[in-house]
Chain A
């Protein structure tokens, strides 16, 4: 048994390893869920919040976050992919049984050990739930080690809700609350309506023993940060995941550079304390 990263680093850090798509589920018209099996003898050995580089030969390569928990890995992993570009469009055309190629996992994930014994607020906007799912599942799988859990999830419409089954399972976990809001409801929607910050009054937590993990579009960060900081959560207890263009994932190509930081290697998970002074971090 060896890790995929060992294989990735062997001959050329840019050369991926073949992997097989074992299941595809259509979540929404633009988002699909993929289950990937590594070649036998390999484990991904990732940390929640890390990502892989996914290749479709002839089309190219793109960074995709891992949406499954390490504790359920067993030589496989999962991704939720929105079709928004050449590579992701190509992925959407692939069915179970197809072969792709993978490098990684890369970057620093969330420091889950530091969240133990604390109450956790997860805040996900849209597709941000995908990388967050690897962490939520890992926390729920080890439920006794953490305090109360709140998940706030915002999407555009009820049809855009991802991981519907997981949301139900999480809501049924002990001492776990799930709050969902949509920008534009349909007739059947009976839940919350409006921006995600509207959900904050529902939460009861002790700021000093709470960590918050936010993943979503840049515009969401600004408003959610204002809420969390206003409630007294320390800068170092707020964690975010940054999205940047990446061509190598190994700190060489320069695309993801944010000040002296390479998002691919130093991130994509950062504490707010690490990035709060950096121009361009949130815009």
Chain B
């Protein structure tokens, strides 16, 4: 939409301004050498050039634990708990922005989830252009998530002494209102933005050996791959990969009630398809009884099922699952291994065809 320039020295002023307007301001902060999204009380806590965060900002849209409604089991009165605290999330990486697009899609498909929707509408996303790779396991360039999707309200690009601030929505424009920290750009500023963004790509490697568009077909042909058994042997079924994932949204629902069995609440909390009980039905049948089947399900969702169900990839290449896996199961290694197995199988059958053709000719 439109571009503004903000001197970095005025970031503090802007954050104060937002807080004075009663926005909850959230951003990446340092904790014990790692980075977490937390509420910011002063701009000093904010680390805009953080590598990656332990958890994605998903936790503000779909909290790890949330109350859906309260009930009175005697009178049967119920009250929905729908929260909408105006929140500005600063410094969201482009992979995580793609993940929010996925969460938006899921929660607005069919019957819209009012809890998510209220929170999402009150959330202002301020993304930041990634200029250097954040960690070894990330593969955003391969997944096509190294560019910001169109769902940003404001998008920051680090120009050295200034930030280029793209305004992506009316909500974004509203965040700039009444703050004099944002200047009209000059012609030279546009050139600076182009130069910075143009120069970044060479720093990011492609980590997948196939193209992202090949993943759904590759996975379709890999349903019976021996690789899943191998992953199943290693997997500890801890569920860490899904806990840190920015696109995983599966949840469990439980009741909690006081000792009088009168006042209670219905709670939803993050769940994981890697946990043994996830697909068990009443009576005990488990539709994914082994770790191999559960790992397969996870990777199928990431590279195939979600794409087919929602038109967006279920993996954004952030690399958090790779970094958190205790037994080094990673999407890059998994997709590449499947690709190599597939190629070997194709070469094998091609060689066989050639051989049998030769026999026929002989």
- Give me the interface of A with B, judged by CB distance under 8 Å: 9, 11-16, 18, 57-62, 82, 84-85, 88, 99, 101, 217-218, 243-245, 247-248, 250-255, 257-262, 265, 279-280, 283
Q: Which of B48-84 contact A (CB under 8 A)?
A: 68-69, 71-73, 76, 78, 80, 82
Contact of B253 among A18, A253, A259 (CB under 8 A): A253
- Which of the listed residues A9, A82, A85, A248 has the most CB atoms from chain B within 10 Å of its own CB? A248
A261 to B109, CA, bound (A): 13
Closest to B110 in A: A251
- Which of the listed residues B107, B249, B273, B281 has the most CB atoms from chain A within 10 Å of its own CB? B281
A16 to B252, CA, bound (A): 17
Which chain A residues border B114 with CB–CB below 8 Å?
11-13
B266: Cβ under 8 A from any A Cβ: yes
Let me know if B249 and A262 touch, CB within 8 A: no
Closest to B262 in A: A58
5 shortest interchain CB distances as A-B pairs: A254-B250, A260-B308, A58-B257, A57-B73, A12-B80
Let me know if A13 and B251 touch, CB within 8 A: no
Name 5 A/B residue pairs within 8 A (Cβ), A-sorted. A12-B68, A12-B82, A14-B253, A82-B282, A252-B113
Which chain A residues border B195 with CB–CB below 8 Å?
none
Q: Considering only CB atoms and an 8 Å cut-off, how many residues of chain B contact the other chain?
A: 53
Let me know if A255 and B250 touch, CB within 8 A: yes
A229 to B71, CA, bound (A): 50
B327: Cβ under 8 A from any A Cβ: no
Q: A15-B80, A250-B110, A254-B273 are in contact. Are A280 and B288 (CB under 8 A)?
A: yes
Closest to A251 in B: B110
A16 to B283, CA, bound (A): 25
B264: Cβ under 8 A from any A Cβ: yes
Which chain B residues border A11 with CB–CB below 8 Å?
80, 82, 114
Let me know if B223 and A279 touch, CB within 8 A: yes
Q: A243-B281, A244-B287, A280-B288 are in contact. Are A252 and B107 (CB under 8 A)?
A: yes
Which chain A residues border B308 with CB–CB below 8 Å?
259-260
1/0 per position for B275-293, CB-CB distance to A under 8 A? 0001111111101100001
Let me know if B285 and A58 touch, CB within 8 A: no
Which chain B residues border A85 with CB–CB below 8 Å?
282
Which chain A residues border B304 with CB–CB below 8 Å?
260
A13 to B115, CA, bound (A): 9
B261: Cβ under 8 A from any A Cβ: yes
A9 to B112, CA, bound (A): 9
Which chain A residues border B115 with CB–CB below 8 Å?
12, 14
Let me know if A13 and B111 touch, CB within 8 A: yes
A16 to B264, CA, bound (A): 14
Which chain A residues border B281 with CB–CB below 8 Å?
243-245
Contact of B111 among A88, A247, A251 (CB under 8 A): A251
Let me know if A280 and B264 touch, CB within 8 A: no
Closest to B284 in A: A84
Contact of B78 among A15, A257, A258 (CB under 8 A): A15
Main secondary structure of the interface of B (DSSP, over half): mixed
Let me know if B278 and A255 touch, CB within 8 A: yes
A217 to B114, CA, bound (A): 35
Let me know if A84 and B264 touch, CB within 8 A: no
CB distance from B215 to the nearest CB of A (A): 14
Which chain A residues border B76 with CB–CB below 8 Å?
18, 57, 99, 101
Extra pairs beyond A13-B112, A15-B78 (16, CB < 8 Å) = A11-B80, A12-B69, A14-B69, A18-B76, A57-B71, A57-B72, A57-B76, A58-B261, A60-B253, A62-B282, A243-B281, A251-B106, A251-B110, A252-B113, A254-B251, A279-B223
Let me know if A247 and B253 touch, CB within 8 A: yes
A98 to B112, CA, bound (A): 31
Q: A259-B300, A262-B309 are in contact. Are A280 and B252 (CB under 8 A)?
A: no
A62 to B253, CA, bound (A): 10
A251 to B112, CA, bound (A): 10
A259 to B296, CA, bound (A): 11
Closest to B289 in A: A283
A40 to B73, CA, bound (A): 20
Let me know if B107 and A255 touch, CB within 8 A: no
B301: Cβ under 8 A from any A Cβ: yes
Let me know if A245 and B278 touch, CB within 8 A: yes
Q: Which of B96-128 contact A (CB under 8 A)?
A: 106-107, 109-115
Closest to A18 in B: B76
B335: Cβ under 8 A from any A Cβ: no
A160 to B278, CA, bound (A): 29
B150: Cβ under 8 A from any A Cβ: no
CB distance from A195 to the nearest CB of B (A): 18
A283 to B281, CA, bound (A): 12
Closest to B253 in A: A247
- Which of the listed residues B266, B271, B282, B297 has the most CB atoms from chain A within 10 Å of its own CB? B282
Q: Which of B212-230 contact A (CB under 8 A)?
A: 223-224
B254: Cβ under 8 A from any A Cβ: yes
Let me know if A57 and B255 touch, CB within 8 A: yes
A231 to B281, CA, bound (A): 31
A24 to B311, CA, bound (A): 46
A59 to B261, CA, bound (A): 10
A261 to B271, CA, bound (A): 19
Let me know if B309 and A260 touch, CB within 8 A: yes
Let me know if A253 and B271 touch, CB within 8 A: yes
Closest to A249 in B: B111
Let me know if A283 and B287 touch, CB within 8 A: yes
Let me know if A245 and B279 touch, CB within 8 A: yes
B182: Cβ under 8 A from any A Cβ: no
CB distance from A101 to the nearest CB of B (A): 7
CB distance from A180 to the nearest CB of B (A): 22
